[in-house]
């Protein structure tokens, strides 16, 4: 817009410029929020993958005969919140294990298994697991 020193015309021009700058600022803020969300999601997923690796290492340690009973107990206290045992009958007991985090049924999957650099998803699990122990059969059902 070509405005000779007309105050009304200059005001309109300044308002147009301010409006365009405001639109651009909002666009940039939206992009910043999206990038921040993606970074946070990436950090959470990376922590989950690191946790899975560490958990696998700990499980392997539990199988080691040199791992003491005290070490095993300490590990379980960090993972399990409580265990409730109820008698179903003389030979069957129901165990309800409540974990500190939702480990039961959690899943990790790549959105594109052929290109693992693309995003992946984590399906949150549950915190409880129920099972019935039959002491005569020595099986868990």
Together in a domain, 21 and 89: no
Which of 17, 36, 67 represents a domain boundary (last residue)?
67
20 domain-assigned:
yes
Q: Which domain holds residue 81?
A: 69-141
List residues bridging with 104 in a β-sheet.
Answer: 126
Q: Are residues 56 and 37 in the same domain?
A: yes
Quote the percentage of the chain above a pLDDT of 70.
86
In degrees, to the nearest 5, what angle opens at C-alpha 140 toward C-alphas 57 and 53?
15
Whether 57 and 74 map to the same domain: the answer is no
Provide the domain count of the chain. Answer: 2
The dihedral formed by the CA atoms of 46, 83, 134 and 58, expressed in degrees to the nearest 10? 30
- Give pLDDT tens digits for 39-59: 887 777 777 666 667 777 777
- At 64 the pLDDT is 82
Structure tokens at 17: 């410029």
Q: For residue range 96-122, list pLDDT tens digits in order.
A: 999 888 878 877 777 777 877 777 777
Judge if 48 and 83 occupy the same domain.
Answer: no
Confidence of residue 4 (pLDDT cuts 50, 70, 90): low
Write out the two tokens for 67: 């791992």
> Hey, how many other C-beta atoms are within 10 angstroms of the C-beta on 102?
13
């Amino acid at each position: 817009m070509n405005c000779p020193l007309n105050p009304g015309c200059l005001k309109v021009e300044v308002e147009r410029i301010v409006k365009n700058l405001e639109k651009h600022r909002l666009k940039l803020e939206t992009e910043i929020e999206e990038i921040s969300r993606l970074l946070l999601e990436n950090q959470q997923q990376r922590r989950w993958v690191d946790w899975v690796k560490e958990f696998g290492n700990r499980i392997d340690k539990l199988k080691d005969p040199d791992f003491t009973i005290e070490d095993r107990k300490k590990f379980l206290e960090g993972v399990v919140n409580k265990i409730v045992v109820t008698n179903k009958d003389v030979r069957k007991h129901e165990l309800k294990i409540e974990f500190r985090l939702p480990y039961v049924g959690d899943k990790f999957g790549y959105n594109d298994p052929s290109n693992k650099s693309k995003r992946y998803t984590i399906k949150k699990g549950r915190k409880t697991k129920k099972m019935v122990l039959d002491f005569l059969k020595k099986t868990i059902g």
